[in-house]
Amino acid sequence: MTTQPDRAAWLQGLSAQCSPAPASATPPWRLVLLGAPGVGKGTQAQLLHQHLGACHLSTGDVFRAASARKDCVPSPAMTAALEFMRRGALVPDRTVWEMVCERTGCLRCAGGFLLDGFPRTLSQAESLGQLLQKENLPLNAVINYELPLPEIVSRLSGRRTCSKCKAVFHITNQPPRSENICDHCGALLFQREDDRTESIKVRLQAYNQSTAPLIDFYSAKGLLLSIPATGSPEDISNRTLYALALRAPLPIFS
């Protein structure tokens, strides 16, 4: 098992420096992770990092870190992204792409990468392919985590978030000790607006519309690996590692 790298350059931008990646006897893994909200993509990214050593590069983490940090000057792309977010608008493709381009050094990481949240559209996938080709950084695979719609709705609609410390619970899978009360700080739990059934279905429809072309795009390139996201996180991780081992038999089960 490896520890999560600090991802300083990815989260903070141009001026930050990451800790050097440890030397490895095996080639680095470079993967793109796809999957609808609720499939557990972030959990799988952490488990894959532990097995493969590749750095988890989540665009969502960048936006969350930029919103929370007040001690560093944001890059031009992040300044634009934060303005869209303050207005409650989606960050457009071009701005997200510029943010990723500012962090090209992270894609060159000697430990490899697990790219999560990007690309989201065919245009972004084509731009990423051109960048990786220019940098001579071939992808090993694109992992698409699949889960039936009813299970996604159940996972997301059952989430409850603490109004104070933002801890997350689930009414059936991880219930609080006292109903609607946070175990950690005693504040009330609430259901986020985007975790309501109607909102979930709208989010999933938008995701499927933007991602369907990506599935075809990466499938045509022979890169797509579709993984059922049912069962425990460990079950899903083992499925993923097995599929990767069949594709490029590196010693990932050691």
Residues 209, 213: Cα–Cα separation, whole Å: 8
Of 81-90, 116-125, 192-201, the one with minimum mean pLDDT is: 81-90
Q: Is pLDDT above 90 for 87?
A: no
Asked if 64 is an active-site residue, the reply is: no
* 64 or 25, higher pLDDT: 64
Please give the CATH superfamily to which domain 28-245 belongs. Answer: P-loop containing nucleotide triphosphate hydrolases (3.40.50.300)
Q: Is 103 known to be catalytic?
A: no
pLDDT tens per residue, range 142-188: 999 999 988 999 889 999 999 988 888 999 888 999 999 999 999 99
Q: How does pLDDT run across 197-251, given as a tens digit for each residue?
A: 888 888 888 888 888 899 999 999 999 999 999 998 999 999 999 999 987 655 5
Cβ atoms of 4 and 22 closer than 8 Å:
no
Average pLDDT for residues 114-132, to the nearest whole number?
A: 93
Report pTM. Answer: 0.83
Give me the pLDDT at residue 78, please. Answer: 80
* Active-site hit among 41, 103, 155, 160: 41
41 catalytic per annotation:
yes
* DSSP conformational letter for 139: -
Task: Give the pair of three-digit tokens for residue 55.
Answer: 């750095």
Average pLDDT score over residue span 9-32:
71
The end-to-end CA distance of the chain, in Å, is: 10
Indicate the SS3 state at residue 59.
Answer: helix
Q: Which of 103, 155, 159, 160 is catalytic?
A: 159
pLDDT for 65? 75
Please indicate whether residue 247 is annotated as part of the active site.
no
What's the whole-number average pLDDT of the chain? 85
Amino acid at 77: A
Q: Which residue among 64, 69, 108, 192 is the active-site one?
A: 192
Q: Which amino acid is at 52?
A: L
Report the distance separating Cα 246 and Cα 223, nearest Å. Answer: 13
Selection from 32, 23, 27, 20 nearest residue 139 by Cα = 32
What DSSP letter does each residue of 171-215 carry, written as one string? TTTB--SBTTB-TTT-PBEE--GGGSHHHHHHHHHHHHHHHHHHH
Residue 229 has, within 13 A of its CA and on its CB side, a CA count of: 26
* Location of structure tokens 């992770």: 33
Neighbours of 126 (CB within 10 A): 12
159 is catalytic: yes
